[in-house]
Structure 1
Amino acid sequence: MYQFRKEERLCSKKFLDKLFNNGSSFLVYPFRVVHLREPLPVHYPAQVVIVVPKRRFKRAHDRNLIKRRIREAYRLHKESSLYPFLSEHHIQLLLSLQYVGKEIVDYKVINKKLLAVFGQLAKIYVEDAGKGS
């Protein structure tokens, strides 16, 4: 249940290009989120890529620490906060979580902000569904 499988990671160059060229974005500091509705070849409702820029964090161990914390928060909350909403509305999503903060923050902050990201995504797609009706 609380797993983060290979099929949930966005690795396809084709999908990455499509996401960054055609996707919409918003900011929930310290995350910049790029999202795009797209039919996926896997049975998971979302594929995600986590980005921490080398320009801002020169040391690999700092980037890895941040990515580890983001992956853990995503892994724990996707089943309760993201997937039920996406499945209910039949949405398949490409998602990029880009860390734009200038310092390394605690896991608690990342956890709280990732839940805010999921709430913002739900709000966006509920509004889209309302416009389509």
Structure 2
Amino acid sequence: MYTFNKEERLCNKKLIDKLFHNGSSFLCYPFKASWLFIDEPGEFPTQILFSVSKRRYKRAVDRNLIKRRTREAYRLNKQQHLYNVLISLDKRIILSVGFIGKEIVEYDFMEKKMLKLLTQLCAEITK
């Protein structure tokens, strides 16, 4: 329930290209989310990709810190805010969450915004 397995990560280049060319996206500052329904069977209802701009954050230490905080906020809240909705709809999605903020923020703020992003994503999915 509160895990983040390798199978949940989006690594397939073809799926990533498909996501960015055909997917829908929305902004929930400091995150930008892109998502797309897929038909491929899998163990988990979502595969996700986290990204942080190398242009904005030159140091890898900063990029890794932001990705760690984002992954943790997602890991703790995905089950009740995203997976339950997707399982009830019997759908699977691929998702990209990019950090577009101008400064490194604290974890509490990031978790609050991740909750907002997940609820907004569920609203988009159920339309």
| TM-score relative to the length of structure 1 | 0.93
Cα distance in 2, alignment partners of residues 42 and 73 from structure 1:
23
Match of 1:60 in 2: 60
Partner of 2:126: helix, strand, or coil? helix
Match of 2:102 in 1: 102
Residue identity (%): 52
* Number of aligned positions between the proteins: 127
Cα distance in 1, alignment partners of residues 114 and 33 from structure 2:
10
Cα distance in 1, alignment partners of residues 49 and 39 from structure 2:
16
* Counterpart residue identity of residue 31, structure 2: F
Q: Deviations over 1:72-99 (max 9, x none)?
A: 0111011111100010011200000000
Cα distance in 2, alignment partners of residues 29 and 83 from structure 1:
22
Match of 1:124 in 2: 124
Q: Deviations over 1:24-50 (max 9, x none)?
A: 110000000000011234210000000
CA RMSD of aligned residues (A): 0.8
Task: Flag as ranges the 4+ runs of structure 1 deviating above 4 A.
Answer: none
Cα distance in 1, alignment partners of residues 61 and 48 from structure 2:
21
Match of 2:16 in 1: 16
Partner of 1:121: helix, strand, or coil? helix
Match of 2:74 in 1: 74
* Counterpart residue identity of residue 32, structure 1: K
Gaps of 5+ in 1: 128-133
Cα distance in 2, alignment partners of residues 120 and 91 from structure 1:
17
How big is the shift at 1:126?
1.7
* Counterpart residue identity of residue 26, structure 1: F
Alignment map for 1:39-50 (pairs within 5 Å)? 39-50=39-50
